[in-house]
Amino acid sequence: MYNRGFRCDGRMRLDYRPMEVETDVVSHASGSARLRLANTDILVGVKTEIDTPYPERPREGKIEFFVDCSANATPAFEGRGGEELGTEISNSLATAYQSSQTFDLTALCILPGQQCWKLYIDILILECGGNLFDAVSLAVKAALHNTRVPKVKGACLDGGTVDLQLSDDPYDCCRLDVSDAPCLVTLCKIGDHCVVDPTAEEETCSSGSVVIAITEKSLVTSVFKTGVGSFHPQTLIDILKVGQTIGLSVNKALRAALLEEEQQGRKKECFGFLK
């Protein structure tokens, strides 16, 4: 069946499953998003904190990713069972966001060399239905889009330490520019062909997959291979070309969905998990 381009659930090789995204689900966080890609359910919360910048990069803020695989997804993740998978995903996100052209860290600077914003991006994996990398990266992009960083109104120097005054108005904040944030696209090799958006069953019967981090401007920020199989160099180049086109359309679709949600403004009904 794969040779004719069909998959078990009737999709073509390069089709994604239906996706739902909703932002502003957790009110305690500065920004949040929930993404549902068929069975895969991801919840991302972004928290902002004031921190000192690295000495070699005094004009840049910091971001830190933390992935928590909840036991809700499978009992094997109880206790510290999901730590390995969580570390793999957070490291891949950190590599994807490392380039200065993806996420402008200078926007997070408050006082060069002394104070900057640190964004803690916490990802909670609630259900695993395959294709975790893609779902996580899309949810992170949506949550960053929703993040509201409070504005700094004033600063006073008190004997070497800086005391910042933040604006009291909860609506007085600045948004982050995520137009260049990358999305990860997983291409899974099954037999001789590669498929996009594998389900959990397809992942178990694949020999390996390639994950590409790609931005809306067609910039590839990271590529890595997961799984135990090996690829011929020509297959790898073909996969990358396919991944590039898919990545562009996924990025555009997410942007359109986020803009549509934002246009609903105050009238938007908050469903969260109730729907």
Partner 1 sequence: MARMDLISFKGLRLDGRRANELRQIRCKMGVFSQPDGSAYLEQGNTKVLAAVYGPHEIRGSRSKALHDKALVNCQYSMATFSTGERKRRPRGDRKSQEMSMHLRQAFQAAIRVEVYPRSQIDIFVEVLQADGGNYCACVNAATLALVDAGIPMTEYVVACTASLANGDVPLVDVSNLEENSGGPNLTVAALPLSGQVALMEMSQRFHLDHLPKVVECALQGCRDIHQILDQAVRRHTEMSGSALGWGNRAQVDL
Conformation bin of residue 198: beta by default, left when phi > 0, alpha when psi is -120 to 50: beta
* Residue 119 engages partner 1 in binding (rule: CB under 8 A): no
Return the residue of 96, 124, 138, 258 that touches partner 1, per CB under 8 A.
124
C-alpha span between 140 and 121 (Å, rounded): 8
SS3 108: helix
CB of 135 to partner 1, least distance (A): 14
Which C-beta is closer to partner 1: that of 200 or that of 257? 200
* Residue 183 engages partner 1 in binding (rule: CB under 8 A): no
* Residue 72 engages partner 1 in binding (rule: CB under 8 A): yes
For the chain, state the CA radius of gyration: 20
Note the residue count of the chain: 275
C-alpha span between 161 and 146 (Å, rounded): 31
Return the residue of 66, 173, 226, 236 that touches partner 1, per CB under 8 A.
66
Nearest to 208 by CA among 223, 226, 234, 183: 226
51 CA to centre of own chain = 23
Give helix then strand counts, H and E, for the chain. 4, 14
* Residue 274 engages partner 1 in binding (rule: CB under 8 A): yes
C-alpha span between 135 and 117 (Å, rounded): 26
Return the residue of 74, 114, 235, 244 that touches partner 1, per CB under 8 A.
74
* Residue 71 engages partner 1 in binding (rule: CB under 8 A): yes
* Residue 33 engages partner 1 in binding (rule: CB under 8 A): no
Nearest to 21 by CA among 132, 150, 139: 139
Rule CB under 8 A: which of 75-104 touch partner 1?
A: 75, 78-80
CB of 48 to partner 1, least distance (A): 10
Which of the ranges 4-12, 87-95, 126-134, 178-186 carries the binding residues for partner 1, by CB under 8 A? Answer: 126-134
* Residue 150 engages partner 1 in binding (rule: CB under 8 A): no
Alpha-helical runs (H) found in 42-81: none
Return the residue of 3, 27, 204, 264 that touches partner 1, per CB under 8 A.
27
Return the residue of 63, 116, 128, 144 that touches partner 1, per CB under 8 A.
128
One-letter amino acid of 110? I
Instruction: Give the footprint of partner 1 on this chain (CB under 8 A).
Output: 26-29, 32, 39, 41, 43, 45-47, 49, 66, 68, 70-75, 78-80, 120, 122, 124, 126-129, 272-275
